Structure 1
Amino acid sequence: DSTGGAALPGRGHARLLVDGREAGRLYGPWGYVPAGTRTLTVRLHADDHTAWAVSGTPVQATVRLDAAATSPPPPKLAPTTPTGRTVDITVSGSTVAPPPSRIELKKGERLTLRVTSDRADTLHVHGYDRELPLSPGTPATLTLTVDRNGLFEVETHGSGLLLTQLVVR
């Protein structure tokens, strides 16, 4: 378990850059890329967020995606019934309330995130590959069981705001 510790060989995540801008982080076998012709770069990072490098050069790969080769986004998950611990988060412009922090959870605990945004966006829980559309002014609820140890970011995809981090032990 490398939560809060130094980089461990063989552990970490990939940062996804679409057209040169960071679009998200990949902790599993799939990710979402917006439709259209894109330049996609994947750069490897350790759990402590340092870039893995060889002789000072980041470990990364870049490829151009043709619009015809892109696949549709994964299906959106419907809201689930809140149970267990609930965290309410509000997004207004570029302000997140309460301010981003770390939520300590025990492995196997259920967590409900209830997020209200002032704009259309997508809520995403990294490491669990869970996402939910956000509609302006309407609370969106996502419930999950945290079943793996680590540090996982919760963010909005469109605005790229960090909402909180989940620390699962």
Structure 2
Amino acid sequence: MRIPVALAAAALTLGLAGCAEDEPTADATGAPTTSASSEPAPTATEPSEPSEPAMPEGVVVDVTIAGGEVTPQGDRVEVEVGEPVTLRVTSDEADEIHVHSDPEHSLEVEAGTPGELTFTVDRPGQVAVESHHLDVTIVQLVAR
């Protein structure tokens, strides 16, 4: 016995209306289908390669604290007012780097873990950057 196509389509429509989302059903040919979901289907994407860290613009001062000594020590560094200044600090002991600007900035440095602080000097003048544990001036920023 053959079922008319219109009757099969009506039965399928009624069957789909009563189904919960994502439950398998059959189309008019009897092939399995899945009801549509209101949420978009996830798309496969190629994993992106890790990007290189962006190089900070402005002035970069690399600071090393090792064996109770800091490098650089007392250097004068010229900067422009509003120009980003980045301190990159590596240390073999915990320390606090303090920037005596307005507003002030500080960086807690953990032994063996590189730290980084980026800030701007907002007005002309000299700004001391110090190691508080060693009680020494690392650099003197001269903002113009």
In structure 1, C-alpha distance between the alignment counterparts of 2:77 and 2:64, rounded to whole Å: 16
Question: 1:121 is matched with which residue: 92, 95, 117?
Answer: 95
Instruction: Indicate conservation of the 8 Å contact 1:82/1:112, yes or no.
Output: no
Instruction: Indicate conservation of the 8 Å contact 1:152/1:165, yes or no.
Output: yes
In the other structure, the counterpart of 2:6 is none
In structure 1, C-alpha distance between the alignment counterparts of 2:55 and 2:112, rounded to whole Å: 19
In structure 2, C-alpha distance between the alignment counterparts of 1:148 and 1:100, rounded to whole Å: 21
Question: 2:74 is matched with which residue: 78, 100, 104?
Answer: 100
Aligned partner letter, 2:81: K
| TM-score normalised by the chain length of structure 1 | 0.49
In structure 1, C-alpha distance between the alignment counterparts of 2:64 and 2:115, rounded to whole Å: 10
In structure 2, C-alpha distance between the alignment counterparts of 1:98 and 1:155, rounded to whole Å: 11
In the other structure, the counterpart of 1:157 is 132
The alignment status of 1:83 with 2:56, answered yes or no, reads: yes
Q: Percent identity?
A: 45
Instruction: Indicate conservation of the 8 Å contact 2:79/2:143, yes or no.
Output: yes
| TM-score normalised by the chain length of structure 2 | 0.57
Write 1 or 2 for the structure with the bigger share of strand.
1
1:117 positional shift: 1.4
In structure 2, C-alpha distance between the alignment counterparts of 1:118 and 1:143, rounded to whole Å: 21
In structure 1, C-alpha distance between the alignment counterparts of 2:55 and 2:110, rounded to whole Å: 18
Matched residue count: 89
1:133 positional shift: 0.5
Instruction: Indicate conservation of the 8 Å contact 2:73/2:137, yes or no.
Output: no
In the other structure, the counterpart of 1:132 is 107
In structure 1, C-alpha distance between the alignment counterparts of 2:55 and 2:70, rounded to whole Å: 21
In structure 1, C-alpha distance between the alignment counterparts of 2:67 and 2:137, rounded to whole Å: 13
1:82 positional shift: 6.1
Write 1 or 2 for the structure with the bigger share of helix.
2
1:167 positional shift: 0.4
> What secondary structure, in the 3-state scheme, does the structure 2 residue paired with 1:138 have?
coil
Aligned partner letter, 2:104: D
**Unmatched 5+ stretches in structure 2:** 1-53
1:111 positional shift: 0.8
Instruction: Indicate conservation of the 8 Å contact 2:63/2:88, yes or no.
Output: yes
